[in-house]
Amino acid sequence: MQIFVPEELEDDILTDLMEEINELYEASEQTLIELELRPEDNELQRALFRSIHTIKGDLGLVNFSPLIPLLQHVEDLLDFLRKGQVEYTSTMSDLVLLTMDRVKAFVESVMANGKAEYDARLHEQLVLAIDRVKPDNHKEHERLLTDAVLLLNPALDVRENDAGEPEVVKPPTLATTALPKDMSSEKKLDILFFRDLMQTIEHRSNYWAGRGDRIAKLALYINELAGSPIEEDQLAVACYVHDFGMAFMPLKLLHKSEPLTDIEFNLMRSHVYKSSRLLEHLDQWDLARKIVMQHHERSDGTGYPLGLKEDDICDGAKLLAILDTYDAMTHSRAHNKENQLSKKQAVIQINRSAKGQFSMKWVRLFNQAMTGLLTKGHS
């Protein structure tokens, strides 16, 4: 490992750099989510290129030289993409996000410690691996991109595919599970439509920004860790649609900080009906509709709207109930402006209130996922 010690920089410069990298990282995540659904959208491709180009330029201005060659080669790859010379794949998405993870960790280390460790040999290998992806070797692209991803994330399983041949299977990471990847074109268009609707609905309240993507990403991550017992596409739709009905409540009710009256509480509870009805004529989303309808049920039967008990609640609703509560605890709401919890505090609180409210099976899986994510510093 090598040690990078930057030139003396003012704290404000480093803070501004980190803020911009975080903003560009989040923007790139959103772009990559949409590229999964619209892989040939040239505007999205150009937006991704611009994000990497800007990060590389920012790091060049402060002379963070160890990262520049790697970012330059990722930028070159995305230049091929925006010019239509290579095709977008999910593996390319993994490569971009894992590279940005490395950049964030590097800058955070400099901010915290005044220096950062890096593996120059690994960076050289990555540059060579990415450089092998050329417009004239299309048939090799997926294998070459996988080689580069494995250098960034070598924690892999090796299993046999249906033909009895070794197959590399990447473990789930939060960054690579924002949306299901294997879907029909019709379902892709549906999910993009529901996601676009959710983003519009999030403007209804000052407290909702980013909620749909946060919950969907975390739900699919935990589901994958559990072995994917819930259909991914159904779970994704439920995560985006489950609170649509809340947008049609009076703002004074949505933003009320005092306890709700019985009448107000019953009105708020009706959002599960409003949300689920939006899916009632879309037969391909029957399970998503069921998840939406049941996500406020409780394992002890005291939930709503039907008072179902543990065995009658579907797994998707059990998981969504936990994540809906977790997101509300960790992000500002009208009723908890002063009591917003840290992620770790929220995990503890969910475990304290789990008995009777949540499925203990899914609480254990939630704990397993959050232990890993909090250890790695993911948001």
Residue 9 lies in a domain: yes
Residue 176 lies in a domain: no
pLDDT reading at 238 higher than 70 = yes
Residue 340 lies in a domain: yes
Residue 178 lies in a domain: no
Report the domain count for the chain: 2
pLDDT reading at 190 higher than 60 = yes
Average pLDDT, the chain: 86
Give the domain CATH number at 15: 1.20.120.160
Residue 356 lies in a domain: yes
Residue 179 lies in a domain: no
Residues 163, 56 share a domain:
yes
Do the Cβ atoms of 245 and 238 come closer than 8 Å? Answer: no
pLDDT reading at 139 higher than 70 = yes
Burial of 148 from C-beta contacts in 10 A (0-12 / 13-18 / 19+): buried
pLDDT-derived band of residue 196, with 50, 70 and 90 as boundaries?
confident
Residues 151, 200 share a domain:
no
Residue 85 lies in a domain: yes
Residues 213, 132 share a domain:
no
pLDDT-derived band of residue 334, with 50, 70 and 90 as boundaries?
very low
Among 138, 171, 204, the domain-final residue is: 171
For the residues 314-332, what does the mean pLDDT come to? 93
pLDDT at 156: 45
Give the pLDDT confidence of 256-267 residue by residue, as tens digits.
888 889 999 999
Residues 43, 88 share a domain:
yes
For the residues 231-251, what does the mean pLDDT come to? 92
Residues 345, 242 share a domain:
yes
pLDDT at 332: 65
pLDDT reading at 99 higher than 60 = yes
Alpha-carbon span 72 to 66, nearest angstrom: 11
Residues 59, 124 share a domain:
yes
Give the domain CATH number at 287: 1.10.3210.10
Among 142, 171, 200, the domain-final residue is: 171
Residues 196, 106 share a domain:
no
For the residues 183-204, what does the mean pLDDT come to? 85
Residues 225, 109 share a domain:
no
Residues 138, 16 share a domain:
yes
Tell which wins on pLDDT, 337 or 223.
223
For the residues 119-136, what does the mean pLDDT come to? 93
Residues 372, 240 share a domain:
yes
Among 171, 205, 230, the domain-final residue is: 171
Residues 127, 19 share a domain:
yes
For the residues 212-219, what does the mean pLDDT come to? 90
pLDDT at 44: 92
Give the pLDDT confidence of 12-57 residue by residue, as tens digits.
888 888 888 888 887 887 788 778 778 889 999 999 999 999 999 9
Tell which wins on pLDDT, 92 or 30.
92
Residue 202 lies in a domain: yes
Residue 305 preceded by cis peptide, ω within 30: yes
pLDDT-derived band of residue 379, with 50, 70 and 90 as boundaries?
very low
pLDDT-derived band of residue 333, with 50, 70 and 90 as boundaries?
low
Burial of 338 from C-beta contacts in 10 A (0-12 / 13-18 / 19+): exposed
Which structural domain range is residue 94 located in? 2-171
Residues 332, 250 share a domain:
yes
With a pLDDT cut of 70, the percent of the chain lying above it is 89
